[in-house]
């Protein structure tokens, strides 16, 4: 079928302002949006710029705004849209555009690095594995699906208003370690998260949960951090 | 721009990161990667990592070693396989201590499941040896190692494309890279370089591999004097989603999934009576192709069914959730109630840059190293996988030999000083790229690539013949001619994908040629390499490794052989 792609174009080095270019693409219903962007680039305009790699929703490279919603270009097919074969493709909001659909994710990773995203355990490890309750493993399991695509943070209205807010992706990673029974830095982590730019920055807008391409209940995970902070304070107070 | 490091690691997948972690702290280490580290293709590994930790049933490293040797169709080097099988349990515990969130048994130990070709007691029956984190094992290990390396003070150069190695009198002393964001060239002077650039699945039309898997590490090492080993052995994974090649993990069969033909018959029962659907990948892919050639594909088409409907929603949700999602998203099928259409798909290269078990890149068939140059992971050939890799052994390979390469590099840089930078070499390398950018040719890189991918699919696939391989070589030759006339339309310097694809294409053509040449020279059938015109294994004449040495641009590579290390298990007929 014939489809029309209206694509955001902007090269800060040469363009005074962004523009939208229109391309006609012959596509099947089962083609991914990424396939169509590749077709545009290979057949019509090699200068169109965006990231991609695994092309099946694992590497997290190609989060974009497709017809107004944030999605992975490799995880959405033509047939998933009821827009009469018309597509508008734009870069992730919040982040600075480097070129066309490609944005600067460094601020996103900087927030991520701030939550100490690694296991901290002050005891010497045993000779074999540390034991872990399979229920505890199941509790953190949803957070392990995160592929760092940036969709949640880009969608979050709090992030747009407050650039100091850690944002959902970083908080989700914090959740993963706060609730991992093998981590011994829980209290330190909770103290760090107990700020208006930390867990309390979240106002339960649910946008992160709605856009997550891996269907992670991000808002609920952040809510669990908040509850844990409160419980922790209660324990300390008594 | 110029940089100085003790060691530079190319590639931020599991092998590269594991080596970098080993080196970090004591040395100045840079990791350069063509994609942001967590986008590396190790993250797509699904099913698990093999180790005889025996958490769910009795196991031993000797059994693991035997299975790997037999799986390799006796071409794997047994001294190296022993190193890997013995080191596997330590590797798993180390990962666990770093924080990898493995699935657990009811007692809280690391859970294990069955995988293709892994057996108890030297082939008796399938065994649970694969440690796993749902069906995203590679992804969580990649995340954990990346997070660990953030703590280790390693410098990352993300979205940098390696262009060539700096060599001084056979000694590697750095490399030149291209920064995608700015289009600038960077020269890295370093005492040692580790290549951990992964596979080259993109030379085939249908592959489970990422767009980034274009094999430049192999080709760059080859041009710098390294040998390429056993390149004819390309693994076709039995269960890629029809038409797309997206992988459905072997764990699906490890958990009880069954392959069926158009009659609903579980055909693997006939081919491998003992372990059936859990036979090694080369065998299953070949049987599937036979079934389809005998007109037993589904509805007479060229695919078969992977039936998971009897596993139940709970198993699919808790242990196979990623692949269930893939089936729904891409094939429009819910595996709870419908079988998944699958077809063998290019997945992994057993061959690669010839190395020893400490990651040293070899310069000749007598094991003399290329000083200062190391390789690990899929781009390397130790060789532990021989003619066919078992599932769960690739992640293990990256971690065991990534760590060992890191240790060896640490020893090397402690006693060696880098030679002065060779004059003119960096300019020569960057000059080639500038010329490519300025070329006024007429050929689109994409068109040449499509020709290559089709030729490899049609002629260098699961079944090969002398005719098909000669046909492939003649197509590749024609494409090489066209590549001389390639045109880069995008002249910009910010994320110039057009240029990147032209660079990658040059490497892919070179690798494809070596694969086809190796396959032509090997007049026998072994592991993943099946010659219809020589359908038996021939230990008399071919129980050796294939080596190719670059003989200069435009000339035919030199062919060499290397004996196989056989320590514990004499070659036997391979039956499952």
Q: Which of B150, B181, B492 sits opposite A47 (nearest CB)?
A: B492
Are B101 and A180 an interchain contact pair (Cβ–Cβ within 8 Å)? yes
Percentage of chain A exceeding pLDDT 90: 97
* A26 close to A2: Cβ distance less than 8 angstroms: yes
Do the chains contact at B106 and A105, CB–CB below 8 Å? no
Place of tokens 């959902």: A168
B526 as an active site residue: the answer is no
Q: Is A69 helix (H, G, I), strand (E, B) or coil?
A: strand
**Nearest 10 degrees: CA dihedral of A53, A54, A59, A65?**
70
- ipTM summary value: 0.97
- Rounded to a whole number of angstroms, the distance from the CA of A61 to the nearest CA of chain B is 7
Contact: A56, B44; criterion CB under 8 Å: yes
A89-143 residue pLDDT tens: 999 999 999 999 999 999 999 999 999 999 999 999 999 999 999 999 999 999 9
Contact A137 B41 (CB under 8 A): no
The structure tokens 């229920």 sit at: A135
Cβ <8 Å between A61 and B36: yes
3-state secondary structure of B392: coil
Nearest CA in chain A to B106: A134
Tokens 């460094």 sit at which residue?
Answer: A106
Q: A41, A95, A119, A182: best mutation site toward chain B, by most B Cβ within 10 Å?
A: A119
Query: Could you tell me whether strands A86-90 and A2-9 are parallel, antiparallel, or unpaired per DSSP bridges?
Result: parallel
Model pTM score: 0.97
Instruction: Give CA–CA dist B81/B535, Å, rounded.
Output: 26
Q: How far apart are CA A176 and CA A173, in angstroms?
A: 5
Contact B279, B391 (CB under 8 A): no
Angle at B314 between CA B132 and CA B255, to 5 degrees: 45
pLDDT of residue A18 exceeding 80: yes
User: Which of B28, B281, B531, B574 is labelled catalytic?
Assistant: B281
Question: DSSP assignment of A110-139, as one string?
Answer: HHHHHT--S----SPP-SSPPP--HHHHHH
Whole-number pLDDT of residue A209: 98
User: Over the Cα atoms of chain A, what is R_g?
Assistant: 21
CB < 8 Å to B108, chain A: 131-134
Whole-angstrom distance, CA of residue B286 vs CA of residue B294: 12
Question: A237 to chain B nearest CA, in Å?
Answer: 31
Nearest C-alpha of chain B: how many angstroms from A110? 11
CB contact under 8 A, A46 and B136: no
Q: List CB contacts (< 8 A) between B150 and chain A.
A: 113, 117-118
Please tell me the distance from the alpha carbon of residue B228 to that of residue B517, in angstroms, as a whole number. Answer: 12
Which of B39, B136, B212 is closest, CB to CB, to A60? B39
CA distance B483 to chain A (A): 16
Among the partner residues B150, B492, B495, nearest to A102 by beta-carbon distance: B495
B363 CB contacts (<8 Å, ≥6 apart)?
B170, B225, B226, B227, B369, B370
* Cβ-Cβ contacts under 8 Å for B431 (sequence gap 6 or more): none
User: Who contacts B255 (Cβ-Cβ below 8 Å, separation ≥6)?
Assistant: B113, B114, B308, B311, B315, B319, B320
Instruction: Give A54 to chain B, closest Cα distance, Å.
Output: 4
The CA–CA distances, whole Å, from A25 to A37, B451, B494 equal 9, 22, 25
Which residues lie below 8 Å from residue B120, measured CB to CB, with a gap of 6+? B57, B58, B59, B63, B126, B127
Angstrom distances, CA of residue B208 to CA of A198, B173, B290, B391? 39, 34, 21, 14
Of A77, A125, A131, the CB nearest to B109: A131
Q: CA B473, CA B458: separation in Å to the nearest integer?
A: 12
DSSP secondary structure letter of residue B464: E
Structure tokens at B90: 């330590």
Q: Do B147 and A117 touch (CB under 8 A)?
A: yes
Predicted local confidence at residue A238, as pLDDT = 56
Write the residue in B35, B144, B181 that is nearest to A53 by C-beta: B35
Is the CB of A54 less than 8 angstroms away from the CB of B44?
yes
Chain A hits for B97, Cβ within 8 Å = 121, 125, 129-130
d(CA B529, CA B127): 26
> Do the Cβ atoms of A128 and B53 come within 8 Å?
yes
Which residue from B66, B211, B308 is spatially nearest to A42, judged by alpha carbons? B211
- The CA distance from A72 to A238, in Å, is 47
B459 φ, ψ (degrees, to nearest 5): -120, -20
| Chain A residues close to B105, C-beta within 8 Å | 134
**How confident is the prediction for chain A on average, in pLDDT?**
96
What is the side-by-side strand order in the sheet with B125-131? Answer: B49-50, B125-131, B112-120
Nearest residue of chain A to residue B54 (CA atoms): A128
Chain A residues whose CB is inside 8 A of the B326 CB are 56-57
Dist CA B261 CA B305 (whole Å): 6
Instruction: Give the closest of A118, A145, A183 to B151, CB-based.
Output: A118
Cβ distance B103 to A134 less than 8 Å, yes or no, reads: yes
The tens-digit pLDDT sequence of chain B (576 residues) is 999 999 999 999 999 999 999 999 889 999 999 999 999 999 999 999 999 999 999 999 999 999 999 999 999 999 999 999 999 999 999 999 999 999 999 999 999 999 999 999 999 999 999 999 999 999 999 999 999 999 888 999 999 999 999 999 999 999 999 999 999 999 999 999 999 999 999 999 999 999 999 999 999 999 999 999 999 999 999 999 998 999 999 999 999 999 999 999 999 999 999 999 999 999 999 999 999 999 999 998 999 999 999 999 999 998 999 999 999 999 999 999 999 999 999 999 999 999 999 999 999 888 889 999 999 999 999 999 999 999 999 999 999 999 999 999 999 999 999 888 888 999 999 999 999 999 889 999 999 999 999 999 999 999 999 999 999 999 999 999 999 999 999 999 999 999 999 999 999 999 999 999 999 999 999 999 999 999 999 999 999 999 999 998 888 999 999 999 999 999 999 999
CA distance B208 to B217: 19
Q: Residues of B with CB below 8 A from A32's CB?
A: 330
Best residue in B132, B147, B148, B443 to probe A by mutation, most A CBs within 10 Å?
A: B147
Q: Do A56 and B148 touch (CB under 8 A)?
A: no
């Amino acid at each position: 079928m014939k489809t029309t792609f209206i694509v955001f174009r902007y090269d800060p080095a040469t363009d005074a302002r962004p523009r939208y270019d229109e391309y006609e693409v012959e596509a099947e219903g089962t083609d991914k949006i990424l396939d169509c962007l590749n077709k545009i680039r290979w057949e019509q305009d090699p200068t169109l710029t965006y990231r991609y790699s695994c092309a099946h929703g694992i590497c997290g490279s190609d989060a974009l705004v497709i017809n107004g919603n944030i999605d992975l270009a490799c995880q959405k097919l033509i047939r998933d849209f009821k827009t009469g074969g018309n597509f508008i493709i734009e870069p992730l909001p919040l982040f600075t555009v480097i070129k066309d659909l490609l944005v600067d994710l460094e601020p996103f990773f900087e927030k991520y690095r701030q939550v100490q995203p690694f296991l901290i355990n002050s005891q010497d490890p045993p000779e074999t594995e540390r034991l872990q309750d399979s229920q505890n493993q199941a509790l953190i399991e949803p957070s392990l699906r995160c592929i760092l695509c940036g969709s949640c943070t880009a969608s979050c209205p709090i992030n747009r208003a407050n650039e100091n807010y850690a944002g959902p992706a970083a908080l989700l990673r914090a959740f993963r370690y706060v609730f991992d029974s093998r981590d011994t830095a829980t209290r330190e982590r909770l103290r760090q998260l107990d700020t208006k730019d930390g867990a309390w920055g979240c106002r339960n807008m649910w946008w992160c949960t709605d856009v997550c391409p891996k269907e992670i209940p991000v808002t609920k995970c952040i809510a669990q951090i908040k509850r844990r902070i409160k419980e922790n304070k209660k324990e300390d107070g008594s | 721009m110029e940089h100085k490091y003790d060691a530079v690691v190319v590639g931020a997948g599991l092998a590269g990161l594991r080596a970098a972690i080993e080196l970090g702290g004591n040395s100045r280490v840079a990791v350069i990667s063509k994609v942001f580290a967590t986008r590396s293709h190790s993250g797509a590994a699904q099913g698990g990592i093999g180790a005889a930790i025996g958490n769910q049933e009795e196991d031993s490293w000797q059994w693991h070693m035997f299975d790997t040797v037999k799986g390799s169709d006796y071409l794997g080097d047994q001294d190296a396989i022993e190193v890997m099988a013995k080191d596997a349990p330590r590797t798993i515990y180390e990962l666990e201590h770093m924080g990898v969130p493995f699935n657990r048994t009811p007692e809280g130990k690391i859970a294990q499941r069955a995988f293709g070709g892994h057996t108890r007691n030297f082939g008796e029956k399938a065994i649970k040896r694969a440690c796993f984190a749902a069906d995203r094992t590679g992804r969580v290990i990649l995340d954990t190692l990346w997070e660990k390396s953030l703590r280790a003070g390693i410098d990352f150069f993300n979205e940098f494309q390696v262009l060539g190695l700096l060599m001084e009198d056979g000694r590697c002393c750095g490399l030149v890279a291209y920064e995608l964001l700015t289009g600038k060239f960077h020269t890295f002077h370093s005492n040692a370089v580790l290549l951990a650039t992964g596979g080259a699945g993109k030379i085939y039309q249908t592959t489970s591999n990422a767009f980034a898997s274009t094999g430049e590490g192999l080709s760059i090492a080859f041009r710098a004097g390294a040998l390429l080993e056993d390149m004819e052995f390309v693994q076709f994974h039995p269960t890629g989603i029809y038409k797309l090649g997206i992988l459905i993990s072997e764990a699906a069969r490890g958990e009880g999934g069954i392959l069926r033909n158009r009659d609903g018959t579980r055909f693997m029962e006939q081919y491998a009576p003992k372990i059936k659907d859990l036979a090694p990948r080369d065998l299953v892919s070949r049987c599937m192709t036979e079934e389809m050639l005998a007109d037993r594909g589904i509805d007479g088409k060229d695919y078969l069914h992977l039936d998971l409907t009897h596993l139940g929603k709970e198993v699919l949700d808790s242990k196979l959730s990623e692949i269930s999602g893939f089936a729904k998203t891409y094939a429009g099928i819910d595996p709870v109630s419908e079988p998944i259409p699958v077809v063998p798909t290019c997945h992994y290269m057993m061959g690669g840059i010839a190395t020893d078990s400490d990651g040293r890149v070899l310069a000749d068939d007598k094991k003399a190293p290329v000083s200062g140059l190391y390789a690990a992971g899929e781009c390397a050939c130790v060789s532990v996988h021989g003619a066919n890799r078992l599932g769960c052994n690739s992640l293990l390979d990256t971690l065991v030999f990534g760590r060992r390469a890191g240790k060896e590099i640490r020893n090397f840089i402690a006693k060696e000083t880098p030679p002065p930078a060779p004059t003119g070499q960096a300019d020569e390398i960057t000059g080639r790229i500038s010329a490519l950018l300025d070329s006024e040719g007429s050929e689109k890189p994409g068109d040449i690539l499509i020709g290559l991918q089709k030729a490899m699919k049609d002629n260098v696939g699961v079944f090969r013949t002398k005719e098909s391989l000669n046909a492939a070589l003649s197509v590749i030759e024609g494409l090489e001619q066209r590549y001389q006339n390639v045109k880069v339309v995008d002249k910009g310097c910010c994320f110039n994908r057009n240029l990147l694809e032209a660079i990658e294409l040059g490497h892919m053509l070179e690798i494809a040629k070596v694969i086809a040449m190796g396959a032509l020279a090997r007049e026998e059938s072994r592991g993943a390499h099946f010659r219809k015109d020589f359908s038996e294994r021939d230990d008399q004449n071919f129980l050796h490794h294939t080596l190719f040495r670059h003989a200069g641009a435009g000339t035919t590579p030199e062919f060499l052989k290397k004996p196989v290390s056989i320590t514990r298990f004499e070659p036997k007929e391979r039956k499952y």
